[in-house]
Structure formats: structure tokens, C-alpha cells
Amino acid sequence: MKRKKNIGIVSHDNRKSDMIEWVSWNWKELIPHSLICTGTTGTLVEETIIQKCKDNDEVPPSITKLKSGPLGGDQQLGALIAEGEVDMLIFFWDPMQPQPHDVDVKALLRISVLYNIPTASNRSTADFLISSVLFHDEYIPVLKDYSAYITREVNL
């Protein structure tokens, strides 16, 4: 993981205002990095950061917008994690509202654990991640070798 991180940002509908408030508060920490967002979250994050950068004579970061979560954005983000293209995930999910794409949400969270990327599912954890001394430094995560699981399945 290089100093400049690729940060995945996702939020469910009922958490979008929380995400935008968090981005607005932390925009200076985010602008040195590349952001990869799903659907509407990406548009809202982009608008927020561009306005903050404009107001403060800063250059906005690269923001990649994927499809909306229910239309495959969560799966796109998961694929990027599996390819090593995402270093960290900030995912404000709604624990009180069932999602039509719950299986995709679960798959995204599973893949973030499988590839051992820092993952925040609430504001407190996102605050801890972004304020960590490791946030702007290089970091080499330890990856577990899961090949034994695959070999065991093939032999069954």
C-alpha cells in the first residue's frame, strides 16, 4: 500500500448525509488520495470535495464513480479490491434497513476481510482510520494464504 491510497467509499441511502458530513469534515485528509465511489455516493462526494477545494484553492482528488450498489457497484468495488486496486474501504451501511442487494453487500464486506484491507462500517471507525499515523504512509498488509482452503475443496 503506497502513501497515496485508493479509498473505496460507499454509503446506503439512509447514511448518505452522514457520509457527506464526514467527507466535508475530512476533505483535507482525503484530497491527497484517489477515491472510488459507488453510484450516488460518488456524485455527492465529488460535489462536496470539489466545492471544498474550490473554496480553499486546492486541487480536487481523482474520483472514480462506479455503478450504483444495487446495479452492480458493490460487485465492481469488490473486484477492484480483489485486483489490489483498493487499499481501504469506508462503507457507511444502514443496519436498520434491508437492502435489495444484501448479498452484494455481504460479498463486498467478505472480500475486504479476505484481502485484509482496512474497512470502516461506521463513522467512529472511519475517524480512527483517517487519523491513524499509517493513513498517509506506506503500509504492507499481511495477507493470509487461503490456498489450503481451495486445495481441500478440490480433494473433497
Task: State yes or no: is 127 an active-site residue.
Answer: no
3-state helix, strand, coil in the chain (%, to 5): 50, 15, 35
Q: Which helix (H) or strand (E) holds 154?
A: helix 147-155
Instruction: Work out the end-to-end distance of the chain between its first and last CA atoms, rounded to an integer number of angstroms.
Output: 36
95 backbone dihedrals φ, ψ, rounded to 5°: -75, -10
> Which residue in 13, 55, 57, 74 is the catalytic one?
74
- Cell, residue 26: 475530512
- Separation CA 36–CA 20 (nearest Å): 15
Active site residues: 74
